């Protein structure tokens, strides 16, 4: 086995929106598809399990004390994953049986924060089917703040995969220079940026991150069309009233360590994209620039990262 070559898969799919059980089944199907392609890593878009909160911007989500907003939010929370209750066991089993690592965008109910607030969490599952990090999005963006809670630094972690060191961030976190820098400093050389799905986000930032870090850069997106809303969605008629035909158009892509395209953005298709990445290209491009190595000046500028999981309570029995 050549450990310097990594086969990656980008699962650009739509969720069974806000239906946790059905979306878990669909994610497992696509993990199996990636496994059949002999991929070492499969990536999914932001919040794919069970879906992005599209209703907020379509139904006057900032209206205070709205019964409609409360009911849709409650439905969302009930369909968020509860890791402590085994919601991801089937996905972990699929990862293990296919010998494939998984980066999965989720909405997480957090028992260490009372179990009622939800977090946009990017989860890394190893090839052995073990959950190795849960990164709760540090700063929800704009209307997302009406439904997601802000996370912490606990999930700012990287993972060894063959010769590679893999890390990832959610959506607009990828615009945060210090969050990117934290991963670079931990040795990241394959960056996974997960998005709900918009070429406008992936087409520039994917290449920029690759060139800035001299790493491989994956932009993996979800897909969402008007036809993807299940009939049992609360207040579906109101949500669809102002919804465009395509809410998330994908745009999944891969750039190499020189910032050039390996796979240009693909839009409006539910598709599994694959590519083989050669680790030697990372070493070649680090020859003239390495942001955390020979081109850094820790005696002048240095980053401090707090990776403690935050909680409102500390119990001492």
The residue annotated as part of the active site, out of 20, 46, 267, 285, is 46
- Active site (annotated) includes residue 46: yes
CA distances (Å), origin 142, targets 44, 57, 172, 221, 299: 22, 10, 10, 19, 36
The residue annotated as part of the active site, out of 92, 120, 171, 267, is 171
Pairing type for strands 101-109 and 41-44 reads parallel
Place of tokens 């945060």: 176
- Active site (annotated) includes residue 137: yes
| b/e map 52-69, b = 16+ CB within 10 Å | bbbbbbbbebeeeeeebb
Whole-angstrom distance, CA of residue 307 vs CA of residue 238: 41
Place of tokens 């898969």: 9
The residue annotated as part of the active site, out of 26, 137, 162, 199, is 137
Whole-angstrom distance, CA of residue 14 vs CA of residue 270: 7
Q: Which residues contact 113 (CB under 8 A, 6 or more apart)?
A: 119, 149, 310, 311, 312
CA atoms within 13 A on the CB side of 288: 6
- Phi, psi (degrees; rounded to nearest 5) at 75: -60, -40
- Active site (annotated) includes residue 92: no
Catalytic residues: 46, 137, 171
């Amino acid at each position: 086995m050549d450990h310097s070559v990594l086969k990656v898969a980008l699962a650009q799919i739509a969720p069974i929106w806000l239906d946790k059980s059905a979306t878990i089944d669909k994610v497992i199907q696509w993990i199996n598809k990636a496994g059949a392609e002999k991929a070492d890593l499969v990536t999914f878009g932001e919040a794919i399990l069970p879906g992005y909160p599209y209703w907020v911007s379509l139904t006057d989500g900032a209206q205070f004390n709205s019964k409609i907003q409360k009911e849709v939010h409650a439905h969302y929370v009930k369909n968020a994953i509860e890791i402590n209750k085994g919601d991801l066991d089937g996905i972990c089993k699929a990862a293990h049986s296919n010998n494939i690592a998984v980066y999965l965008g989720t909405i997480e109910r957090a028992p260490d924060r009372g179990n009622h607030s939800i977090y946009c969490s990017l989860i890394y599952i190893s090839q052995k089917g073990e959950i190795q990090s849960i990164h709760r999005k540090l700063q929800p963006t704009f209307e997302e703040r009406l439904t997601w809670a802000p996370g912490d630094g606990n999930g700012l972690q990287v993972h060894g995969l063959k010769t590679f060191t893999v890390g990832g961030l959610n959506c607009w976190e990828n615009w945060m220079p210090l969050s990117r820098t934290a991963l670079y400093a931990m040795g990241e050389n394959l960056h996974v940026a997960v998005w709900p799905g918009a070429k406008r986000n992936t087409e520039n930032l994917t290449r920029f991150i690759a060139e800035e870090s001299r790493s491989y850069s994956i932009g993996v997106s979800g897909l969402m069309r008007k036809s993807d809303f299940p009939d049992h969605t609360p207040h579906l008629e109101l949500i669809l009233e102002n919804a465009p035909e395509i809410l998330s158009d994908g745009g999944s892509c891969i750039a190499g360590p020189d910032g050039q395209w390996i796979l240009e953005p693909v839009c409006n298709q539910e598709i599994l994209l694959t590519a083989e990445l050669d680790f030697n290209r990372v070493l070649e491009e680090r020859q003239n620039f390495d942001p955390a190595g020979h081109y850094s000046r820790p005696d002048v500028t240095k980053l401090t990262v707090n990776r403690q999981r935050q909680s409102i309570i500390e119990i001492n029995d």
